[in-house]
Amino acid sequence: QSSEQAVRSAMKHCGRAMIHTTFICGMGLLVFGFSDFIPTQRFAWMMLALLTTALIGDLLFLPAMLVQPFVKHLQFARERFPKGMEIRTTSYSTE
């Protein structure tokens, strides 16, 4: 299975759950966003923004980074390690 197919499969099975989780947690924090106590209010809005940003990153940027080949990045990492030190790469199946 190619990395593109693995990303599609993961999004198909987990995408809706990620959206629902973010929505439920965000609504729970939104209650505190209308607090009269300013530090609690600011914390709630900051956490809501953080959850939204994390969801956007999970749904848009992470799949794009996983599909993109990392050969150049791995070669750069190998050059930075001392000779004789082994770098192991693994692959996994989504089945």
For position 89, what pLDDT does the model report?
Answer: 61
Is residue 85 included in any domain, yes or no? no
Is residue 90 included in any domain, yes or no? no
Q: Band of the pLDDT at 14, cuts 50, 70, 90?
A: confident
For position 93, what pLDDT does the model report?
Answer: 60
The more confident residue out of 47 and 73 is 47
Q: Is pLDDT at 78 greater than 60 in this prediction?
A: no
Is residue 30 included in any domain, yes or no? yes
Total number of domains constituting the chain: 1
Is residue 94 included in any domain, yes or no? no
Angstrom distance (rounded) from CA 90 to CA 67: 15
Is residue 17 included in any domain, yes or no? yes
For position 80, what pLDDT does the model report?
Answer: 63
Question: What is the residue range of 27's domain?
Answer: 3-69
Those residues whose C-beta lies under 8 Å from the C-beta of residue 74, and which sit 6 or more positions away, are: 87, 89
Is residue 34 included in any domain, yes or no? yes
The more confident residue out of 57 and 71 is 57
Those residues whose C-beta lies under 8 Å from the C-beta of residue 19, and which sit 6 or more positions away, are: 55, 59
Question: 0.75 exceeded by the pTM?
Answer: no
Is residue 58 included in any domain, yes or no? yes
User: Can you tell me whether residue 87 is helix, strand or coil?
Assistant: coil
Is residue 31 included in any domain, yes or no? yes
